[in-house]
Structure formats: C-alpha cells, structure tokens
Amino acid sequence: MKIKEIISVLEEMAPLAYAEDFDNVGLLVGDQDVEATGILVCHDALENIIDEAITKNCNLVVCFHPILFSGLKKITGKNYVERAVIKAIKNDIAIYAVHTALDNHQEGVNKIFSDALGLINTKILIPKQNFIRKLVTFTIPENAEEVRNALFDAGAGTIGNYENCSFNSKGIGTYMGNEHSNPQVGERFEFVQGDEIKIEVTFEKHLENKILKALFKSHAYEEVAYEIYELQNQHQNIGLGMIGELKNPISEKEFLLFAKEKMQCGGIRHSNFIGKEIKKVAVLGGAGSFAIKNAIQAGADAYLTADLKYHQFYEAENKLLLADIGHFESERYTKNYIVEYLRKKILNFAVILSEENSNPVKYL
C-alpha cells in the first residue's frame, strides 16, 4: 500500500477542504508514492516521535498538530521544528497533519471531546460559513432521473440528516444549433421548443469539480446549460466547537471535578462561580477564546476550552462558567480516534498509537 492510498482514507475522515484558511494540513513532509511500512499516530510530530517511528518501522507519521505551521526560511536544526523535519527527511518518513480539518468535522475533535464528557443532543457551536453552493441545470424529462442520480452519487443533495435532496420544476426550453452543432433533439438551424426539467441541488464547495464531471457525463445535451451560486447558508454539520447537554444537571464545582477526571487534567483555571447548575455545555478543543460569545449566545451554562488569557475570563460576564482545561487535555483523545478509524478502514496493516506524551505543559 502506498502512502497516497492512506492519504485518501485520511481525507475521507477529515476532508482538507474543512480546514481553516490559516491552517497547514495534509502531507507536510515526504513522498506520497512511496510504499508504506506502517503508520504511527501521534498528537505532535516531534523529534522523539520520529525516533519512535524509526524504531517501530513506520514511515508515515499521522499527527494532529502540523509540525510545519508557518514557513521555514532555513532548516539548520536550531529549533524543535527544524530538528523534527530534518530527522524525518533523513529517514524517509512522511508526516501528515489533520488539525482543523478534523476540528471542523461533525465526528471530529469536538464530538470526541463531547463524548468523553457524556454530552447528549450535541450540535455544532459555530457552523461554517460560505461553504455551500447550488447547482442549477436543465435537461429533457427523459434524462432528468439519470442526471439527478449522478449528481447525488457525486455528493450533491445532502442537507443535514437528509440525502438525495433536489428541487425539480417543469418549463419550456428553446434553442437553435449552428452549423457546428449536433443536437440531441431537432436539427441544425431548426428552432426547437420543448419540455425541460430544471434541477436544483446544493453541495459542499470542495466537491464542485466532481459534481460537474458527473453532470457532463450524465447529461443528454451536447452543450450543458448550468449555473452555480455561492450560498449564504450556514453548514450545520461542519464547524468549530460543539454544544450539548449533560444527562443530569450538577453544581459548578461537581462539573469541574467531573471534567478534570474525564479529560485527565493536571488542573483547571476557571471564572467565578455564579451559583448556576450546569446542564448545557459548550466545548472547543484547543485555543477557543474567540468562541466565548458564541457559547453565551447558545445558552451554555459552561464553556470548556483552552489557552485563555487573564482578561478573557472577564468575558464570562457572570453568564456562564468559563474553564480552561489545557490545550493538550482538550484534544487528548483525538489520536485514539484516528487510530480506531484507520484500523477499521485499513485492515491487516500496522497502525500504531504513539506511546509518547507530547504535552509540553507540566503541573506540580
């Protein structure tokens, strides 16, 4: 199995189009055409992780955080990033990062976080904007079903929990072909007027090329008329953070002790207690100060995230319990999820969970 085949599986799990614009995801180091010897899954692809990959005969390291986040102007081994990259290149080890591609997935980082806390009735906290497009096309009635099914097979027509969604309307189409035309109905230079079906479907924008290929292949016309629009709709199943509910409300202190146990936290920094039972909980793995207002607007009783600064605790405004449980801790179980996913999809192949703890933060 080549590394590029494994990458296809990883992109099914976390499509790169889901990643934030600032991020650096996908294959960061290595040749995708090389035969894979094994996969080592980790949180951070540090130098000691590359050593572990060498020891365990894995030439593909799948990490959550990208070791290459911003551009390198020199690679001299003067810092931890350069040393890890140099060692990986010297030992023909590829590095692939998922990061916000998995953050934004409805089954990704924040669902894993929510599941660890036992939250129910979960939904995306900040749905992704400007990600949905709409295709409109026209064809003869006899061709409509074939076109629709081809578009559905290519990924169009999914709305929330529903698939194969489309809108179809009848109308009258007209055309007249020139000397170079080869019309399906009628003759060259003949004005043709006939029944047509207008088909409308929505799709995720990264599927556009695939959708158009399906359209052109299935369409009866020599020249396919179509329109594509960018929609303002939010994508309810893609986005950052998640909000859900505890099965039973508990006190603020009980909740923090519960979260500390479930997420194996060395410590939790939190805002003032406001004497409110915790039932509705918002979470966002990693640095999530930007979503405090979103958690408040969503009616959360508590918001768990990481990397909060001093003044950001004031933003709780006595409206919710704000808690910083630690960056690594909030994403703790992500690598386990990746391993389980790969083992289900790639049978009889070495998929290994790293034994190294890459959390740089220590607690007394």
> What is the span of the domain harbouring residue 81?
3-99+333-353
Asked whether residue 279 is assigned to any structural domain, the reply reads yes
What is the token pair recorded at 32?
């995708």
Report the residue count for the chain: 364
Kindly state whether residues 220 and 190 are assigned to the same domain.
Answer: yes
Asked whether residue 362 is assigned to any structural domain, the reply reads no
> pLDDT tens digits, residue range 229-262?
999 999 989 999 999 999 999 999 999 999 999 9
Kindly state whether residues 245 and 123 are assigned to the same domain.
Answer: yes
Kindly state whether residues 113 and 40 are assigned to the same domain.
Answer: no
Q: What is the 3-state secondary structure (H, E, C) of 159-175?
A: ECCECCCCEEEEEEEEE
How far apart are the C-alpha atoms of 72 and 15, rounded to whole Å?
25
Percentage of the chain modeled with pLDDT above 70: 100
Kindly state whether residues 306 and 183 are assigned to the same domain.
Answer: no
Provide the CATH number for the domain around residue 155: 3.30.70.120
Category of 318 on φ-ψ map: left (φ > 0), alpha (ψ -120 to 50) or beta: left
3-state helix, strand, coil split of the chain in percent (to 5) is 30, 30, 40
The reply to whether 103 sits in an annotated binding site is yes
Asked whether residue 359 is assigned to any structural domain, the reply reads no
**Look-up: residue for tokens 């052109």?**
216
Asked whether residue 251 is assigned to any structural domain, the reply reads yes
Asked whether residue 168 is assigned to any structural domain, the reply reads yes
> pLDDT tens digits, residue range 278-314?
999 999 999 999 999 999 999 999 999 999 999 999 9
Kindly state whether residues 68 and 45 are assigned to the same domain.
Answer: yes
> SS3 of 132, please?
strand
Kindly state whether residues 337 and 321 are assigned to the same domain.
Answer: no
Kindly state whether residues 29 and 166 are assigned to the same domain.
Answer: no
pTM (2 d.p.): 0.89
The reply to whether 331 sits in an annotated binding site is yes
Asked whether residue 109 is assigned to any structural domain, the reply reads yes
> SS3 of 332, please?
coil
DSSP string covering 22-82: T---EEEES-TTSBP--EEEEEE--HHHHHHHHHTT--EEEEEE-S--S--S--SS-SHHH
Kindly state whether residues 26 and 88 are assigned to the same domain.
Answer: yes
Kindly state whether residues 123 and 246 are assigned to the same domain.
Answer: yes
Asked whether residue 93 is assigned to any structural domain, the reply reads yes
Kindly state whether residues 74 and 205 are assigned to the same domain.
Answer: no
CB 58 within 8 A of CB 37: yes
Determine the distance from the C-alpha atom of residue 313 to the mean position of all C-alpha atoms in its chain, rounded to a whole number.
28
Per-residue pLDDT tens digits of the chain, which is 364 residues long? 999 999 999 999 999 999 999 999 999 999 999 999 999 999 999 999 999 999 999 999 999 999 999 888 899 999 999 999 999 999 999 999 999 999 999 999 999 999 999 999 999 999 999 899 999 999 999 999 999 999 999 999 998 889 999 999 999 999 899 999 888 788 899 998 999 999 999 999 999 999 999 999 999 998 999 999 999 999 989 999 999 999 999 999 999 999 999 999 999 999 999 999 999 999 999 999 999 999 999 999 999 999 999 999 999 999 999 999 999 999 999 999 999 999 999 999 999 999 999 999 999 9
Kindly state whether residues 139 and 121 are assigned to the same domain.
Answer: no
How far apart are the C-alpha atoms of 78 and 96, rounded to whole Å?
22
**Look-up: residue for tokens 């009866």?**
220
Mean pLDDT of the chain: 96
How far apart are the C-alpha atoms of 142 and 148, rounded to whole Å?
12
Kindly state whether residues 123 and 243 are assigned to the same domain.
Answer: yes
How far apart are the C-alpha atoms of 50 and 305, rounded to whole Å?
29
Buried b (16+ CB within 10 A) or exposed e, 214-247: bbeebbebeeeeeeeeeeeebbebbbbbbbbbbe
Provide the CATH number for the domain around residue 28: 3.40.1390.30
Asked whether residue 360 is assigned to any structural domain, the reply reads no
Alpha carbons within 13 angstroms on the beta-carbon side of residue 86 total 11
As for how many domains the chain has, the answer is 3
Last residue of a domain, one of 176, 206, 230: 230
